[in-house]
Structure 1
Amino acid sequence: MSFAHPGWLALLLLLPLLGAVAVMTSRMRRRQWTAFVAPRLREALLKRGSSLPRWLAFLFLLAACAALSFALARPRADAGTKLEKTVGRNVMIALDISKSMRVADVKPDRLTQAKIIIYELLDAMPNERIGMIGFAGSPYVYAPLTVDHSAVSEIVDQIDEKWAPLGGSDLASAVHLATETLKKTGQKNNALVILSDGEKHEGDLDAMITEAEQSGVYIVAIGVGTEDGGPVIIPGSPNQQIMDETGRPVISRLHPDVMRKLAEETKGRFTIAGSGLDVPALVNSVVKGLDAFEMDGRERRVSIEFYQWLMLPSILFLIGSIVAGTRWKGIRTAATAIAALMLTAPGAKAGEASGAKEALAGKNYKAAREAYHNLAESTKARETKARYRLGEATAAYRAKDFREARTAYSGSLLSEDPMVDASGHLGMGNSLFQLGWIGLAGESYPQDPASVPDLDKFDDLVKKTLAKMREAEEPEEGDTPGFGPIESLITNWADAVRHFDSALALPPSDQVARRNRDLTMIYLKRLKELLKEEEQQTQQSMPQAQPGDGPPQEGDGKGDPKDGKGGEKGPKDGKGGDGDKDKGGDKGDKDKDKDGKKDKKDGDKGDKGNNPNESPEERAKRILKENADLEKGPLTRGRREFQNPEKDW
């Protein structure tokens, strides 16, 4: 037998000391009474009781302390070793360690961002057998397939571009080495995750793709970097750049076509790091579709714990100590008082709150929302009301009633608790994003990472809405039909970004809020580009003015013959003379007055942002421009840091 924490046994040395102190204290008290009361008066003044219950309670207490000391030391016996069996799949990670991966077009650089993704993959796939290949001019297996993810993590910590013996980026050789390594496992379906910028690949990539496809290797390609790229820096010299033959800095750019080809031709997936998608969830969705197999895991030592056998005696000794040392005369009064307090204590609120929580956990969202709503309406405490509003909003959001969720999340923002406030801002941003997406697509945004729409689908949805807007007849006043969803979309998503920023400004910073904010900004930027393209197409489709199509010039009938007026080709019926001119002038004055009033009215409307002469594309661009400060970073909480409003509009 051994002890896991033998230091707790030192508490046993205090038990004899406590016993000695108790005996000395008892004798000192007895001497004090002997000196204070005369022997002949002791029987009349002092009523002696038995000291046995007091000493018995003390002994029970010492026994309980001794049992607890042994339990804290955790006695245990060795029962041998056991080989764990796990069910998983083979996942090989190929990391590009060429010099171009040190380009800082993503922060802090491409290689560091790729390492962060690998750490997330190790946490997201705890039961998979994972290995790692590093490649530049030539590939090498730095970590064989293993379930010991800590060993792979140590390799990732240390690896850098200096580990590559040859320069370049032989992506084809990396695919070949990974395919051969996975084929040796004997499994039909395996996964290969490639993290690279896809630049300057060497070798016959098509042949390697064919080999991987025939071997059942599904490639998940993750592009690291940007298409704008950046200069390649010599490692160890941040101010010194690599120059080409003409003396210009060498610029490295992301080549998504190469990475996309690897994924599509092996029935895998492709994404760009930092695009807003959950990369670990994307990889996990591909890996979960592969055939799982049973494999040997870690060998661990089996120990039998005995501390639980000591807990029961220690509890019994404590109970005996309490019972032996209790003076039972006042027990009846104390029990009566406790029973009265329990009967008069308000327990209805706790029961209702528990019922609402159970309904939410049981996915009965309608009942949970009504229960939390009734609780919020019945309480006057501001903080408690905000917490109940948060529960009501959570139930409404899960039921996909995003309008009710938006209203309830607004009430939760009155809380003084940063955790509740941050949850309210995050939920408010998610609800506004969902409302904007429903107005565009007619359905809620999917939660499954495998069903997340890409930018191509978003482009189709926006173009269909704009096409409906072009086909609709423009009314005399107000917006054109079909523009409502676009305007509502921009407004909701702009407000959603502000709420995400408010959630990120509160502790603790939520990574979900950061990802959702980045995804919303990607859609807003793409919407701005589509509206600009629509405006350019509209301008090109408008009829252009031709020479000679200008308005006719007023005259007295004696103008240039080219104008068709005056000269010998004047009017034959006498019309067009002074009478008609005066009549036309009167009508022109009336039109002028009418137009003047209309212009004034339109000017007033323009001040309010509802100018009917403004096209839908121009109005959408104006709204996007007004919200362009969203890209400048997190917003402050505004005046709410001085005084919370009664309502959040």
Structure 2
Amino acid sequence: MGDQVANSSQWLSSHWFQWETLQSFNWELSVVLYAFYVLPLVILIWFAIDIMKKQSLSIALTDRDIKWSPTSLLRLIPHLIMLLILSLLLLALARPQKTNEKVEQWTEGIDIMMLIDISESMQIEDFKPNRLEAAKDVARKFVLGRFQDRIGLVVFSGEAYSRSPLTTDYDLLNTYIDDIDFNLIEKSGTAIGSALAVGTNRMRESESKSKVMILISDGDNTAGNIDPIIAAELADAYDIKIYTIAIGKEGKVPFGKDFFGRTRYVENTLNETTLREIAKIGNGKFYRVSDNQALEDVFMLIDKYEKAEIKENRFKDTTDFYPIYLKWAIVLFLLWMLLKSTFISNILQD
């Protein structure tokens, strides 16, 4: 944006000569400020020339009649005023400014639906503190890393239901994530097909150029009346990309405590076939994770893959303050000219 000039009605304020104010400026021609280092030398030369030009008048007086008068110092006032004028001109030439830069960011955004398994097996503690809490933690971080993307949430076990529609209210969405627990759905099992169908239903009317579903589960499809492969094909028909994440270790894994408070271990197996096929149909990727860090790394990868281009406009609002110092210099110059016509400039020097 074009330069603006400081409000002329405020130039009389002493605020412009405070050290804090001078430090706050951006000096467009800061090299001019170095002239202040040679200004004393210029003043000395000026004084020397002025003294040489003065005419001396010999007057015979006794010591008793020679007295110093404080009024003789008045002759220095024009010189001090000229010093101020030169200083003000240097400040004006250095062009003090203040610039406010405004940045507008926008993006077309991506629609993302997260599908989180809350079946009983998500209580297994091979992740800390358990599989579900680990999934919730990375989901929260993923949400906070997005910019103007609409994100929704589906939870499922024996049934599936939409926990949150697509939204850009990330604080509200993270509240929904915080409130996820195993009591939200009473029916047991893992209805992967139903979860995909609910997510697709939420996204089918989306006009976003990029639509993504992220499915997190630790088991095979064991519930629901919708085949997961058919549900994946339906999602693909709506141009929805699907990432699937199989969560959990193979073999013996900790699962709660026994009667004596000792850690109980259960045998865990996971059939990856269905989740791999879903990701293939959905033109996404399949991931198998066995600890918290691996799960976090996968979400970071997805976050990197599914980034919309963020565009920005920058606006610079620059205000010039050199007219303030220039006006002061003009006023003082007029005062200096006035004093040249008064007795002050003709006071005798002892």
TM-score, normalising length: structure 1: 0.31
Q: Deviations over 1:282-303 (max 9, x none)?
A: 4357647xxx99xxxxxxxxxx
Q: Distance in 2 between matches of 1:49 and 1:214?
A: 91
Paired residue secondary structure (1:132): strand
Cα distance in 1 for partners of 2:260, 2:187 equals 22
Q: Is contact 2:193-2:221 (8 Å) kept?
A: no
Deviation sequence 1:192-241 (CA, Å, 0-9, x none): 1111212563233333233334443322101222123524338xx99588
Q: Distance in 1 between matches of 2:189 and 2:322?
A: 69
Question: 2:77 aligned to 26, 50, 53, which one?
Answer: 50
Distance 2:276 2:325 in 1: 70
CA distance in 2, matches of 1:229, 1:319: 85
- Matched residues in 2 for 1:286 and 1:42: separation? 86
Q: Which residue of 2 aligns with 1:268?
A: 284
Counterpart contact for 1:96–1:196, Cα < 8 Å: yes
Partner of 1:89: 110
| Runs of 5+ unmatched residues, structure 2 | 1-12, 19-65, 310-314, 333-350
After TM superposition, the structure 1 = structure 2 runs for residues 16-95 of structure 1, keeping only pairs within 5 Å, are 40-42=67-69, 49-50=76-77, 53=81, 86-95=107-116
State the shift of 1:171 in Å: 1.7
Counterpart secondary structure, 1:211: helix
- Displacement of 1:174 in angstroms is 0.7
Q: Which residue of 1 aligns with 2:156?
A: 135
Alignment of 1:139-218 (within 5 A): 139-185=160-206, 190-198=211-219, 201-203=222-224, 204-218=227-241
Once residues 69 and 272 of structure 2 are traced to their aligned partners in structure 1, the CA distance between those partners, rounded to angstroms, is 102
Whether the 8 Å CA contact 2:126–2:248 is kept in 1: the answer is: yes
Alignment of 1:599-610 (within 5 A): none
**Displacement of 1:145 after TM fit?**
1.3
Query: What is the distance in 1 between the residues matched to 2:261 and 2:181?
Result: 19
User: Does the 8 A contact of 2:229 with 2:274 survive in 1?
Assistant: no
Residues 1:258 and 2:274 aligned together: yes
Q: Where does residue 56 of structure 2 map in the other structure?
A: none
> What does residue 313 of structure 1 align with?
321
Matches within 5 A, 1:322-401: none
- 2:302 is matched with which residue? 283
Q: Does 1:232 align with 2:259?
A: no
The 2-side partners of 1:318 and 1:104 are apart by 74
Query: Are residues 41 and 187 of structure 1, via their aligned partners in 2, closer, same or farther at CA, if it must alter by over 3 Å?
Result: closer
- Are positions 1:117 and 2:138 aligned together? yes
Identify the residue that residue 521 of structure 1 maps to in structure 2.
none
Q: 1:187 and 1:153 mapped to 2: Cα distance?
A: 22
- Structure 1's unaligned 5+ residue stretches are 1-12, 19-38, 75-82, 242-247, 294-303, 325-649
Instruction: Measure, in 2, the Cα distance between the counterparts of 1:222 and 1:115.
Output: 13
Q: Distance between the aligned counterparts of 2:255 and 2:326, measured in 1?
A: 71
What is the one-letter code of the residue matched to 2:243?
V
Alpha-carbon contact 2:229-2:277 (below 8 Å) kept: no
Correspondence 1:212-611 to 2 at 5 A: 212-228=235-251, 230-233=253-256, 239=261, 251-273=267-289, 274-275=293-294, 278-280=297-299, 282-283=301-302, 287=306, 308-309=318-319, 312-313=320-321, 317=325
CA distance in 1, matches of 2:202, 2:235: 11
Counting aligned pairs with the same residue, the percent is: 25
SS at 1:163's partner residue?
coil
Given that 2:217 and 2:245 are in contact with CA atoms closer than 8 Å, whether structure 1 keeps it comes out as yes
**Shift in alpha-carbon separation, 1:318–1:134, aligned structure 2, 3 A:** farther
> Number of residues paired by the alignment?
251
Deviation of 1:93 after TM superposition, in Å, equals 1.0
Post-superposition offset of 1:172 = 1.8
Cα distance in 2 for residues equivalent to 1:318 and 1:197: 75
Distance 2:272 2:260 in 1: 27
**What secondary structure sits across from 2:68 in the alignment?**
helix
Amino acid at match of 1:88: G
Q: In the aligned structure 2, how far is the partner of 1:240 from the partner of 1:117?
A: 29
Secondary structure in structure 2 of the residue aligned to 1:175: helix
1:106 corresponding residue in structure 2: 127
Counterpart amino acid of 2:77? S
Letter in 1 for 2:321: P
Find the aligned partners of 1:210 and 1:89 in 2 and give their Cα distance.
20
Give the conservation status (yes or no) of the 8 Å contact 1:223–1:271. yes
The separation in 2 between residues aligned to 1:225 and 1:166, in whole angstroms, is: 22
CA-CA distance at 1:177 after TM superposition: 0.5
* Aligned-residue offset at 1:95: 1.3
Give 1 or 2: higher helix fraction. 1
Structure whose residues are more often strand by fraction? 2
Quick one: which amino acid aligns to residue 106 of structure 1? F
Give, as a single letter, the amino acid of the residue that structure 2 aligns with 1:121. F
Matched position secondary structure for 2:195:
helix
SS at match of 1:193: strand
Q: Measure the CA separation in 2 of the matches of 1:238 and 1:316.
A: 83
Aligned-partner Cα distance in 1 for 2:122–2:221: 12
Equivalent residues of 2:138, 2:296 under 8 A apart: no
Contact 1:134–1:140, Cα closer than 8 Å, also in 2: yes
| Separation in structure 1 between the aligned mates of residue 253 and residue 174 of structure 2, nearest angstrom | 28
Cα distance in 2 for partners of 1:91, 1:40 equals: 94
Given that residues 268 and 286 in structure 1 are in contact (C-alpha distance below 8 angstroms), is that contact kept between their aligned partners in structure 2?
no
Amino acid of the structure 2 residue aligned with 1:313: F
Structure 1 residues 205 and 44: alpha-carbon distance in aligned structure 2, compared to 1, 3 A threshold:
closer
Give the CA deviation at 1:180: 1.5
Per the TM alignment, residue 318 of structure 1 is displaced from its structure 2 partner at its CA by 10
What is the TM-score of this pair, normalised by structure 2? 0.54
User: Could you say if the C-alpha distance between residues 318 and 136 of structure 1 is closer, same or farther in structure 2, counting changes exceeding 3 Å?
Assistant: farther
Q: 1:174 to 1:43 in 2, by over 3 A?
A: closer
SS of the counterpart of 2:251? coil
Tell me, in whole angstroms, the C-alpha distance in 2 between the residues paired with 1:219 and 1:101. Answer: 21
**SS state of the match for residue 77, structure 2?**
coil
